[in-house]
Amino acid sequence: MIRSKNAASLFVLGLVLAAASPLAAGPGTQAVSREERRTIAVAPGIERVEIRRGDFKTGTEGDRWTINILLLDPARVRLVLARAMDEAVGTETTSSLSARHGAAAAVNGGYFRTTGTYKGEPAGLLAFGKKVWSEPSPRRTALAVSNAGGRVLAAVTAIDFAASLDAADGASHPVSGIDRPREADELIVYGPEFHRTTLTPPGGIEVLVENGRVASAIDGAGSLPIPSSGYAVSAVGTAADWVRAHLKTDSAVRLRTELKYDPLPPFEPEFLLGAGPRLTAAGRAAADPGMKFYPPDFANNRHPRTAAGVRKDGRLALVTVDGRQPALSVGMTIAELSALMLELGCDEAINLDGGGSTTMVVSGKVVNSPSDAAGERPVSDALLVLIR
């Protein structure tokens, strides 16, 4: 890697041969012959590396990649997760989130619902400490992060989730989901982090729980205000029948949630961001069993990508690969992205939301080329890099 000598340096540019690049592997991929790198010192503990790989002098023919990398010193930065509009629903651009929180750099975060009343609701796990904002998709991997002890700790893990409501009469019912739309026969719990109301349509029953007791139960209305000192229970069908039978006004009720890790991170996570698939594990390309939950073209077609990894030297890598722009960058398959993260020395790595969401912001500016025709896409959350 070619490094800037000081923060005042704009960049250092090098041309290197890369005939054996891992990106040259794969069906239909032409051999990569040239690479340009520039490394910029962004702030203490933060470097940005831009790589242009391939032949950029042949119009739109052949393969080329534009890659941006943030290399982070875990002892000099903090890595935090910021939510759009500071709620569990809603969208906001990565650059706006970065500016609002005074971040030195940022990349987009996890998957999310892109349309409808619940636009921005996480499509997978989201948790802050032990507070679950969204349950995980089945066995989909997550990024676990802690900023305790004077340095950033990060790990990739698969997580299973279980939750239940325990009524005062001893009856118990499983919770189908957290902070998301309810479906047939489901019981959904909405916390005050979700929104001012549950946003549910009329029908079913909603129970407001304050300080561990049922404050009120209203049938058929929908979209009730969520108590700031509790939560709302919204149920339809058979789940609503259970609520009517067991959650009586002024009775006690207990919400239990449990996260099961595989593997267990060696620290207490400050936040958990569901994404996936896992790209590398123990310094090798990962065969993520959760891949069966993704459509084939997601993994095998080239798309813009965002990824996060932990390097052998302890530094963190946040990576964007532009795509869907033949003159600039063709994007990567999941296998190609895994190879890139290994090339960057990442023992552990995970794929984040990509496509039109892929965005990197440095010093208040978008430094990659988002693929949407309208430009930077509003997203549900972003990983922010703060100076410690």
Confidence of residue 332 (pLDDT cuts 50, 70, 90): very high
Pick the more confident residue, 375 or 28: 375
Whether 160 has a pLDDT exceeding 70, the answer reads yes
Predicted confidence at residue 290, as pLDDT, reads: 73
Average pLDDT of the segment spanning 90-103: 98
Predicted confidence at residue 1, as pLDDT, reads: 32
Report the alpha-carbon distance of residue 351 to residue 369 in Å, rounded.
Answer: 18
pLDDT in tens, 335-347: 999 999 999 999 9
Pick from 274, 267, 285, 261: which is nearest to 346 by CA? 285
Proportion of the chain in helix, strand, coil states, percent, rounded to 5: 15, 40, 45
Following DSSP, what letter does each residue of 227-279 receive, concatenated?
Answer: PTTEEEEEE-HHHHHHHHHH--TT-BEEEEEEEEEESPPSS--SEEEE---EE
Q: Where are the domains of the chain?
A: 77-119+272-387, 169-251
Arithmetic mean of pLDDT over the chain? 91
Whether 6 has a pLDDT exceeding 70, the answer reads no
Predicted confidence at residue 33, as pLDDT, reads: 57
* Burial class of residue 11 (count of CB atoms within 10 Å of its CB; 0-12, 13-18, 19+): middle
* Count of Cβ atoms closer than 10 Å to residue 321 Cβ: 28
Predicted confidence at residue 263, as pLDDT, reads: 94
Average pLDDT of the segment spanning 266-284: 96
Name beta bridge partners: 50. 38, 68
Confidence of residue 9 (pLDDT cuts 50, 70, 90): very low
Name beta bridge partners: 302. none
> What separation, in Å, do the N-terminal and C-terminal C-alpha atoms of the chain show?
25
Whether 11 has a pLDDT exceeding 70, the answer reads no
pLDDT in tens, 54-63: 988 878 888 9
Average pLDDT of the segment spanning 207-220: 98
Predicted confidence at residue 19, as pLDDT, reads: 33
Name beta bridge partners: 332. 303
Predicted confidence at residue 21, as pLDDT, reads: 43
Pick from 188, 80, 92, 169: which is nearest to 129 by CA? 80
| 3-state DSSP assignment of residue 388 | coil
| Contact yes or no for 310/342 (Cβ under 8 A) | no
Confidence of residue 274 (pLDDT cuts 50, 70, 90): very high
Predicted confidence at residue 248, as pLDDT, reads: 97
Predicted confidence at residue 23, as pLDDT, reads: 43
Predicted confidence at residue 140, as pLDDT, reads: 83
Amino acid of residue 78: R
Confidence of residue 10 (pLDDT cuts 50, 70, 90): very low
